[in-house]
Structure 1
Amino acid sequence: MEQDCESIACGKGSKTRAQKSGTGGRIAVTGFGLVTPMGVTSWRSVSAVIRNRSHFAWHETVLVADAPDGTALRGATISRVSGEGVRFGLTGSERSLALLAPALREATSGLSPSPGDAVPAWIINGIPSEEVGAIPCPADILPLLSPMEHLPVGREAGSGRCLFLDRVAEAAKALREGRCPRALVAAVDSLCFLPVLEELLAAGRLLSGPNPEGIIPGEAAGAILLEREESARKRGAPIYAFVSSRGHGIDPAPRTGGRPSQGRGLTEAFFQAFDGLPTTGGEMGLVVADLNGERQRALGWAVTEERVFGPSHRERQLWLPAFSVGECGAALGVVQTVVAVAALAKDLANGEQVALCSSDDGGETRVLCLDQGDFADRHALNRWRRERQAKTNERVT
């Protein structure tokens, strides 16, 4: 997707320019939901990341074939969602639906069905299924949505990591152009199936004693609700954050290339994103990155951080959701986004702006910047959480 900073660069510093031109307005995040191995609500998962937990709520070891004939087995540590709604043994579209349904309900809990006003939805599904075209959406949520795109992801490990941030930018552009008042972007993926684990093991990517720089496969599902600021204020929706700018790049030394990463693609993405901000990138107080334990990503980030931020008196935090919830493929982008939005809403972002960065194994890189919204009162947030959970329970029953 081509870079279109103007289509989403409408944070706090550009509100006046948008109003004068008579176009767009700011794009607000007014709802979000998340399911991870740390919990089936966004706040449990976000709390785990904020507290920097290094352990997993559901810590399992499965046996993976370490030889083509299956005669040698090795234990693989995985982080898998478990509970009444996501029972053991679910695969394909059933698992996609079980993971994504709670996140969709949480993200859309403030909406009511309205004839002719269905919410356009972009749904990224990384879990392979024999049911071609099956949309992982529960029956009680489907009337609210008008699926724009159901995007199955290729099963190569590490593919699809940038898709979520791309679809957020696409949805924001549609909102600014007035094609819809609100839009939903969702993703679900799992690396906990045996065929995927065998691929990762064969590629030497699983965390183990002989390989301390590997990943712990996980799974997750999440969704965010985007809305034009005018529409959100009209219906009294909480505004947790604003989408401010985006950047993209291509790394000439991707992870699959065998050469050490020099961080060029990620550096380019950061500079593009910061060009769309009214302040310098050095003022960024929090970065939510996609590092997952692999050496190549760590090296790329180390080089990028020095180039982009350099020496600064500003204290900057680095949050790594994959260290808490596991490497969850195409769903890691939504985990990062929900964590960033929640940090802004809870006033824990070390400032009023957050940057998210993501990169595919093929070298594609993305950066998305968010500004703090109006909803940053911790006591009000706790009250709202209780009210929202009550509404969700009422709708399910």
Structure 2
Amino acid sequence: MSVFTPLDIAAIGMVTPVGLTAPASAAAIRAGIARLGESQMYGKKGEPLVMGLVRDDYLPPLTGSIRNQVGFLSRQGRLLRLAAPALLEVCRGLELRQIPPLLLALPESWPAGAQSVGPALLGQLAAQSGLQLDLRRSRTVQQGRAGGLVALRRALDLLTIQREPYVLVGGVDTYMDRSLLKALDKEERLAERGVSDGFIPGEAAAFLLLRLASQGRVSPIAPIARISSLGLGVEPGHLYSEQPYLGDGLADAFREVFNSLPPDAPRVRSVYAGLNGERFWAKEWGVAYLRNRARFEEQLDLEHPVDCIGDAGAAQGPLMLGLAAIGVQRGYRSSPCLVWCSSDKEERAAALVQQAPERGSSTASAGLRRNA
């Protein structure tokens, strides 16, 4: 049986098309409020593409130095404007001697012509946010939707081996890139009127402040929720592979999640699913669920935030972990809750979120709970 050291979620920050903070985003998505509409981007048929976007005037402008580096209308500039306020939210009010290392999920590599992003974004994010990030130990995880969950394993190394008291795990993505949208449209992956197989491009940023659950006894900050298990998988027959698709990657990720639990552990009652409207992912979920069916309750709540905000790409993992954490803390999502994400390429990942044990309150924890 594999072993996972539980992690506590101590704080959350988000920017989404339906909310500029974690509480606002969670409340809007819970209520089913959607912000999807025609954009200024056009598809190959000459019609405006439907997208889930944050209103431009809701985002902070780029600082002068960063604007000169990346350009205001670039994809990289958009990522920084999304990420900075979410990062500031997760760090707000926390009396940390220094900002912890950041593991940031970014988009996978895309077709030639699409604007690429990489490790340089970390330094630019520090300048845009005004925070003194620990750049020496911070890393990017350029693995798309599953990247934020993949980063949890790296976060464990920082917490257990390097004995960091806290680690930040986040993700940011936007499909606001003409070359990228053109390539996806050519592949007929984008949603169209009257077509049931396609996704609505979106954007978001989400960050989690994590610590070892065992450190909760000595911390003044009460946890929002607990990540109790993690599973990773690799899908050889992924969306851009020539190998046959067998559905092994996500099923293996589920199996690793459940194998780290005792046999009498409660069955999963709610799921935040990495579905986006494309049939490929629905098929993958079906395979993984059936191979692990004994671990799920018959009455299962299946949540897919893309209905409200579109496909959030590399932000999807931290975003859904944060939504699950707020949901189980406030009692409107059943615990334990499974969160899973699949990247366009081979990465697959899943994690289990459950209610954190009750503990005494304090001024710091009360403030954090209001912020959650």
What TM-score, normalized to structure 2?
Answer: 0.83
**What residue in structure 1 maps to residue 124 of structure 2?**
135
Contact 1:287 1:317 in 2 (8 A): yes
- Select the residue among 248, 272, 281 that pairs with 1:297: 281
1:313–1:184 Cα change, 3 Å = closer
Displacement of 1:74:
3.0
Displacement, 1:145? 4.1
State the Cα distance separating 1:321 from its structure 2 match. Answer: 1.5
Instruction: Summarize deviations over 1:299-353 as a string: whole Å, max 9, x none.
Output: 11122222212597642211112222111211111111111111121122223x1
Q: Distance in 2 between matches of 1:266 and 1:228?
A: 26
Q: Is the 8 A contact 2:320 2:339 kept in 1?
A: yes
What is the aligned-residue RMSD (CA, Å)? Answer: 3.3
Further displaced range: 297-306 or 216-225: 297-306
Q: Which of 27, 33, 44 is the matching residue for 2:13?
A: 33
Q: Which amino acid in 2 is paired with 1:73?
A: G
Name the CA shift for 1:288/1:97 in 2 (closer, same or farther; >3 Å).
same
Q: Does 1:151 align with 2:131?
A: no
2:186 to 186, 202, 227: 202
- Correspondence 1:247 to 2:223: no
| Inter-CA distance 121–83: structure 2 relative to 1 (3 Å threshold) | same
Q: 1:240·1:375 contact (CA, 8 Å) conserved in 2?
A: no
Structure 2 vs 1, CA of residues 210 and 316 (structure 1 numbering), >3 Å: closer, same or farther? closer
Counterpart position of 1:371:
354
Structural mapping, 1:174-323, within 5 Å: 174-177=158-161, 179-209=163-193, 211-257=195-241, 261-279=245-263, 283-309=267-293, 314-323=298-307
Are the aligned partners of 2:141 and 2:147 in contact in 1 as well (CA < 8 Å)?
no
Q: Which residue identity lines up with residue 39 of structure 1 in the other structure?
A: G
Q: Secondary structure of 1:220's match?
A: strand
C-alpha contact (below 8 Å) 1:135/1:150 kept by paired residues: no
Change (3 A) 1:34 1:138: farther
Q: Secondary structure at the match of 1:44?
A: helix
The question of whether the paired residues in 1 share the 8 Å contact of 2:233 and 2:347 is answered with yes
**How many residues of Structure 1 are paired with residues of Structure 2 in the alignment?**
352
CA 1:75 to 1:253, structure 2 compared with 1: closer, same or farther past 3 Å? Answer: same
Q: Secondary structure at the match of 2:39?
A: strand
The alignment-based identity, stated in percent, is: 25
- Please say if residues 240 and 373 of structure 1, whose CA atoms lie closer than 8 Å, have aligned partners that are also in contact: yes
Counterpart of 2:64? none
Task: Single out whichever of 32-41 and 129-138 deviates more from structure 2.
Answer: 129-138
Q: Could you tell me which residue of structure 1 aligns to residue 112 of structure 2?
A: none
Letter in 2 for 1:369: L
Q: Which residue of 2 aligns with 1:44?
A: 24
Provide TM-score, normalisation by structure 1.
0.78
Partners of 1:261 and 1:300 within 8 A in 2:
no
How far did residue 103 of structure 1 move?
Answer: 1.0
Residues 48-67 of structure 1 show CA distances to partners (whole Å, capped at 9, x for unaligned) of: 332344x32x523334252x
Letter in 1 for 2:103: W
Q: Give the whole-Å Cα distance in 2 for the aligned partners of 1:125 and 1:373.
A: 29
Q: Which residue of 2 aligns with 1:22?
A: none
Does residue 98 (structure 1) correspond to residue 76 (structure 2)? The answer is no
1:76 aligned onto 2:54: no
Change in 2 beyond 3 A, CA 1:62/1:288: same
Change over 3 Å in CA distance of 1:310–1:279 after alignment to 2: closer
Residues 37-93 of structure 1: per-residue CA shift (max 9 Å, x gap): 01111122222332344x32x523334252xxxxx6232101111153427964344
Distance between the aligned counterparts of 1:87 and 1:145, measured in 2? 23
Q: How many angstroms does 1:36 deviate by?
A: 0.6
What's the offset of the Cα at 1:171? 0.5
What is the alpha-carbon distance in structure 1 between the residues aligned to residue 141 and residue 244 of structure 2? 30
Is 1:112 aligned to 2:95, yes or no?
yes
Query: How many angstroms apart in 2 are the aligned matches of 1:99 and 1:232?
Result: 30
Q: Which residue of 2 aligns with 1:122?
A: 103
Partner deviation per Cα, 1:78-125 (whole Å, 9 max, x = no partner)? 1111153427964344322211122112211232352xx541211234
Aligned mates of 1:146, 1:101 — CA distance in 2: 15
What SS is found at the alignment partner of 1:143?
coil
Gaps of 5+ in 1: 11-25, 67-71, 154-158, 390-397
Structure 2: any 5+ residue segments left out of the alignment?
62-71, 108-114
Following superposition, the deviation at residue 218 of structure 1 comes to 0.3
**Aligned to 1:212, what secondary structure does the other structure show?**
coil
